[in-house]
Structures are given as structure tokens and as C-alpha cells.
Amino acid sequence: MAALRRIAPIFPVRDLSVSLAYYASLGFTTREYEGGGYGFAILDGVEIHLGTGGGNGRASAYLFVDDADDLARRWMSAGITVHPPQDTEWGQHEGAIVDPDGNVIRFGSPMTRSSE
């Protein structure tokens, strides 16, 4: 039986160069597909695809991280608007960002005793 190996959400974007620059500012390694109209953003083995011409829809993804507060601080120091992590009733410490096209990345780590 075939096993699933990984997943990469595809975010619709209006301007690929703006989106690639935004994800680069978050610390992602970015590159444009040679055929144009499509790009890739990769950080710590997490991959997000960016595609133009995908309509007006928005997408979202959830990143499971080791330390949501640390990631929020890192992205804030890069000048990104971050909805700071907060404890949830389901045991995650979660925050979020919204990219220039309205795509949402929520990120979270397990709550620790000190954040409960």
C-alpha cells in the first residue's frame, strides 16, 4: 500500500515576486518555478507552494512547531504582523499570520506548564 510522505498547501497569490519576498522575510528559502507563475517556499522541511492564476480564493495551513512563542518573536523581529500565540482549550499554544494575499498560516506548539 502506498504511504503518504508529505503535503504542501498551495496558496493562491496575485503577485508572485511580492509573495516570494514576504516568505523570504519569514526565513523561508524561496524560488520561482522556471516556467513562471509558480513558486516554492521551504523552511525546516515545511513546504508551501505559491501559484498565480488560482482565482480569488484564500487558503490556510497549520504549522506544528516546537516553540510558538519563539517563532512569533522571530517573525515579529522581521517586521511581520503576528497574532501572538495564546493558549487554547484543545491544549495548543497558537498564533497566526496573514500573508499579503489573505492566506492564513496558523502555528502552534503544545502548551507547557509555564504557559497554562
pLDDT at residue 116, as a whole number:
43
Q: How far is Cα 79 from Cα 21, in angstroms, rounded to an integer?
A: 13
Strands 92-98 and 46-51 turn out to be unpaired
**CATH 3.10.180.10 is held by the domain 10-115:** yes
pLDDT at residue 55, as a whole number:
62
Q: How far is Cα 89 from Cα 32, in angstroms, rounded to an integer?
A: 39
pLDDT at residue 90, as a whole number:
86
Percent of the chain beyond pLDDT 90?
A: 73
CA 99 to chain centre: 8
Q: What is the pLDDT along the chain (116 residues), one digit of tens a residue?
A: 766 677 889 999 999 999 999 999 999 999 999 888 999 999 999 999 999 976 667 899 999 999 999 999 999 999 999 999 999 998 999 999 999 999 999 999 999 855 44
* Contact call for residues 43 and 68 (beta carbons, < 8 A): no
* Contact call for residues 73 and 59 (beta carbons, < 8 A): no
pLDDT at residue 4, as a whole number:
61
